[in-house]
Amino acid sequence: MGSRLAHRGLPGLARPPGLAHRGLPGLAGLLAVAVIAGCRTAPVQHAPAVSQPWDATRAELQARDHFSFKGKIGVAAGKDGFNASLRWAQAGTRSNVSLEGPLGVGGVQINLDGDTLEVVNSHGDHLDSDAARAELAARLGFEPPLKSLRYWVLGVPDPTLPATESVDSEQQRLQSLEQEGWQIDYGAYAPTDITPVGSAGGLALPQKMTVQRPGVRVRLIVDGWSP
At residue 113, the pLDDT reads 96
At residue 46, the pLDDT reads 52
What's 127's domain CATH number? Answer: 2.50.20.10
Question: Before 102, cis peptide (omega within 30)?
Answer: yes
pTM, full prediction: 0.78
Count the domains in the chain.
Answer: 1
- 130 is in which domain, residue-wise? 54-226
- Give which of 116, 173, 179, 129 is closest to 149, Cα–Cα: 179
Asked, for residue 14, whether it belongs to a domain, the answer is no
The answer to whether 92 and 65 have CB atoms below 8 angstroms apart is: yes
Q: 110-142: per-residue pLDDT in tens?
A: 999 999 999 998 888 899 989 999 988 888 889
Asked, for residue 37, whether it belongs to a domain, the answer is no
Mean pLDDT, range 147-176, rounded to an integer: 97
Asked, for residue 25, whether it belongs to a domain, the answer is no
Q: 177-219: per-residue pLDDT in tens?
A: 999 999 999 999 999 998 887 676 789 999 999 999 999 999 9
For residue 58, give the H/E element and its range. Answer: helix 54-63
Q: 5-59: per-residue pLDDT in tens?
A: 344 444 443 444 443 444 434 434 433 444 344 444 444 555 556 678 999 999 9
Asked, for residue 160, whether it belongs to a domain, the answer is yes
Asked, for residue 165, whether it belongs to a domain, the answer is yes
Q: 64-106: per-residue pLDDT in tens?
A: 999 999 999 999 998 888 899 999 999 999 999 999 976 555 6
At residue 76, the pLDDT reads 94
* Cα dist from 194 to 34, 77, 165, 184, whole Å: 35, 33, 23, 22
At residue 201, the pLDDT reads 73
Asked, for residue 8, whether it belongs to a domain, the answer is no
At residue 80, the pLDDT reads 86
* Cα dist from 168 to 72, 98, 188, 196, whole Å: 25, 31, 12, 20
Asked, for residue 45, whether it belongs to a domain, the answer is no
Asked, for residue 149, whether it belongs to a domain, the answer is yes
